[in-house]
Structure 1
């Protein structure tokens, strides 16, 4: 018996090595297949970027081009096909090709039922959510859309003072209070803790949001999700459960550290529900607590059939990480982009003066409490400055993207039939940069949307949260981002304080955003010089 164990242990390294080699070889073959594959799409749909080779070699060329030159492919496809009301195939090496519809077919796309075309599946696949978010998938339906819609958005008015207080405290710390000397700041690296603190202040209260260890853990965790997702996407589906833990090992360490802060709070709250003096199962909290843990419990109790798994502390904690990612990362990118857009515009000083005057005028109005929902809704120039930045420099290229889930596939308006599993949608980037939609479309015009558009014979400013056929930074239709109202509140409060309290030294050239497949990263290491204004 001992000799058998010795043989097993001796051969283990060889078996492991052979398994890894086989997995890598299979992955390599899968990537080669992807490069040349038609993805079972009909031959009448043209592929962009194939050049003169409208065959497997052309597809290989376009797939490889999508790795570093996706923007060029989008520009080519929009000019050659979309503007001529034609559908085309956009090669997308990391997650498979996308069928891009012309703008005239947006209505058809949004009319399709969720059991025919699913937007949620595209979002999950884009982030490889089954492997990037730990334990959250023990429950079928994600919790954060419901919590955002039914808890956070409805209660935003309760958090406006907290958000303003946290913005001011964070800016004092990261941008300083010196009114004499200019200070050089890394914009992204300062916006990350500022937005993290705002979000955590709302989700978990003042104590945790002022804990630098906790906010640093949350900030570092959300930075790495997209990179891990991209790496996992390269592998065939049957290998993802095995390679996922490898690429997310550092995320898992951060998640466990984050969980160590949350678990005592969760356990205390659950213990209260089990007290013998509680006569019935209820989600009503006698202390009136208004935080993520209570929202999660309320959500679980609101189900027609209570699922015990939703009371698992691991599930509650892991769902916090999903909510934090959704709330923090996109807002950090948006605010970073907006600050650089303003600083690089020829009207930098004038724009800041206009924003400052708007904040002061509304704050001095006796009918409006500073930074309240009512006050923020009247700050149309802040809305416009952020909306224009999202239009020009959004964080993803897609506007609406869905996945065919109907087993029989779906027939497009042009008669093309695409199979189950195909992604089909609209490119928001292309529409946002169309001169027909936005004159001088490649220029940042801070108050483009404050000047408004014609509605019922009147010029009405366009709010940051409003989506349309030509503004899809939050997607569009029934699946528009549910968190955009919270995002707008924290972004407007943060940018309003920056304009009110700081001068920003103009820069001659805006740093270029980096494209990473479908992600568009803001300037991550570049700096600006700022100085506290004398009030």
Structure 2
């Protein structure tokens, strides 16, 4: 009662002042608890001490890309790591040179952990509603086990969904030029195609389900931004409050998905028991089926609850929707900023290799699209939407020693690798800051790939120490082959059936912190081709 009277007596300015003081005090507590790094490590933009820490992390939002660029040429090319700010409540990141990538991949999981690093960065304990599910790798194991082996047989279904999604969005477009928002176009066509692999036929076209999962992914992104402005000591409270919207969107999606999960459980378990009703029935190949299979194989009955299966899908929805949409938008923007004959050359290639009898694209035909593949890989190189990649966090209580130095990184420090510098290094790429759609196609042709009968590792999903948009080593993205085929099939249908007007000069890239901000409102002109 006394507490309520005290609150009533305080004016709004005083309450606001108390809140600000509380947040400042929280950040001070966070700073005191941060692990301390060696004082003689090179730094870019990072200053030590409380005031230096605050100033560095304010400037982080405006200068992080510049620091990563400069650090690559000053230290990274000399084989040295350097420190950059990573947020008010985090120690600075250790940005490794690409020469240390092999060493990084050799470290055991009790020394450094990729899963824990990613979970911390995206605030998975709050955003994905159940910390016990997020910290377990069960869902990732199901993807690794079945996705790639099932992919060749799923290509016709993926192509059908690509055709359906594009026509649903652009069905009104005729032979006259029409303006569309490029971001909205890809945001409309990627989710149904992606969800054909995640939840299966039928439900992947359900408008209410798709709206809910897209809203969920955007809610996760919003919370990741907002939580950076609150002290970590308050995250257990603030995180749960902010993520109420995540819970709301998941409940909407779960309501639509529940009948699908229940029917799948009944069918798979009935078939396993020898029930005659399911003797000739085959479950769709999608993540729902794979999660159930893995749970039955491992005897994990708790994983067979519909609520658990539904929540297992959430991290995969988040990982596969907006990243694919952004990759696709940037690729098309790079393409439309090129001379018109670039798109013409790609379209000619598509016409030359597409199935002659009107059947579906085969895996072999898609892999023969060297120009299309090169244009996407080159966009991944030039228009990377993050400055660093391959996140790891030190897990060893005794720390981790960087080879060739006396620097020991304490537990809780994040290591990452300079993506921005490697992708724009003029010693690796000629005209490194220019988009050359056929850069990798010309390399493959120059080495006479076809004559030697060997496909060179320069395709969209081939990673190395200077090109790793899908990651590198043991923790490389397990869904990269699906994403590559998804982009190929969507690109094929769009370019064969629609004509796009080039945009001339490419809009300037915008960065906040370590991430690129999409051009949400950018419009392009297109029209339906009279003869595909």
| TM-score, scaled relative to structure 1 | 0.88
2:318 paired with 1:325: yes
Aligned residues: 520
Equivalent in the alignment of 2:192? 197
What are the superposed Cα offsets for residues 171-216 of structure 1, whole Å, 9 maximum, x if unpaired?
Answer: 2232346442111010111111200010122333332222222222
Q: Answer yes or no: is the 8 Å Cα contact 2:388–2:417 preserved in 1.
A: yes
Q: Which moved more, 1:443-452 or 1:262-271?
A: 262-271
Distance in 2 (alpha carbons) for counterparts of 1:171 and 1:274: 36
Change (3 A) 1:143 1:39: same
Question: Alpha-carbon deviation of 1:134?
Answer: 1.8
How many angstroms does 1:463 deviate by? 0.8
Residue in 2 that maps onto 1:4: none
Shift of residue 162, structure 1, vs aligned partner: 1.7
Listed as ranges, the matches of 1:451-466 within 5 Å are 451-452=442-443, 460=456, 462-466=458-462
- What's 1:76 paired with? 70
For 2:366, the equivalent position in structure 1 comes to 376
Distance 1:337 1:76, change over 3 A: same
- 1:117 offset after TM fit, Å? 1.1
Structure 1 gap segments, 5+ residues each:
1-6
For the structure 1 residues 442 and 139, does the alpha-carbon distance in structure 2 shift closer, same or farther, using more than 3 Å as the test? closer
Q: Are positions 1:395 and 2:385 aligned together?
A: yes
Q: Mark the CA change 1:158 to 1:275 in structure 2 (over 3 Å): closer, same or farther.
A: closer
Q: Tell me if structure 2 keeps the 8 A contact 1:47–1:59.
A: no
**Structure 1's 341 and 37: CA in aligned 2 closer, same or farther, altered over 3 A?**
farther
CA RMSD of the aligned region, Å? 3.2
Deviations 1:114-147 (A, max 9, x none): 1111111111111111110123634741333222
**Higher mean C-alpha displacement, 124-133 vs 520-529:** 520-529
Q: Please state how far the C-alpha of 1:412 moved relative to its aligned partner.
A: 0.3
- In the alignment, which of 235, 238, 243 is matched to residue 243 of structure 1? 238
How far apart, in 2, do the equivalents of 1:61 and 1:430 lie? 24
Equivalent residue in structure 1 for 2:162, among 149, 167, 184: 167
1:307 correspondence with 2:300: yes
Q: How does 1:24-173 map to 2 (within 5 A)?
A: 25-32=21-28, 39-49=35-45, 57-93=51-87, 95-135=90-130, 137-138=132-133, 140-173=135-168
Question: 471-480 or 221-230: which moved more?
Answer: 221-230
Alpha-carbon spacing, 1:503–1:240, altered in 2? closer, same or farther (3 Å): same
Taking structure 1 as reference, are residues 137 and 22 closer, same or farther at Cα in structure 2, changes over 3 Å only?
A: farther
Residue 438 of structure 1 is aligned with which of 420, 425, 429?
429
Query: Cα 1:140–1:400, aligned 2, differ >3 Å: closer, same or farther?
Result: closer
Q: How far apart, CA to CA, are the structure 2 residues paired with 1:416 and 1:310?
A: 43
2:529 to 515, 525, 533: 533
State the Cα deviation string for residues 349-404 of structure 1 (Å, max 9, x = none): 212112212222112468x9642222111112121111111111123222322111
User: How far has the Cα of 1:298 moved from its partner?
Assistant: 0.6
Counterpart-to-counterpart distance in 2, 1:437 and 1:72: 20
Per-residue deviation, 1:429: 1.4
Q: Are the aligned partners of 2:355 and 2:361 in contact in 1 as well (CA < 8 Å)?
A: no
Write the distance in 1 (CA, Å) between the matches of 2:190 and 2:412: 36
CA distance in 1, matches of 2:49, 2:272: 73
What is the aligned partner in structure 2 of residue 361 from structure 1? 352
Comparing 123-132 and 235-244, the one that deviates more: 235-244
Name whichever of 140-149 and 178-187 sits farther off: 140-149
- Structure 2: gaps (5+ residues): none
Deviates more, 1:167-176 or 1:74-83: 167-176
Partner of 1:3: none
CA distance in structure 2 between the aligned counterparts of 1:42 and 1:323, rounded to whole angstroms: 37
CA contact (8 A) 1:138 1:309 kept: no
**How many angstroms does 1:271 deviate by?**
4.5
Closer, same or farther in 2 for the Cα pair 1:76/1:140, shift >3 Å?
Answer: closer
Q: What does residue 449 of structure 1 align with?
A: 440
SS in 2 for 1:515: strand
1:496 alignment partner, one of 488, 492, 496:
492
Q: Is the CA contact 1:449–1:461 (under 8 Å) kept in the aligned structure 2? A: no
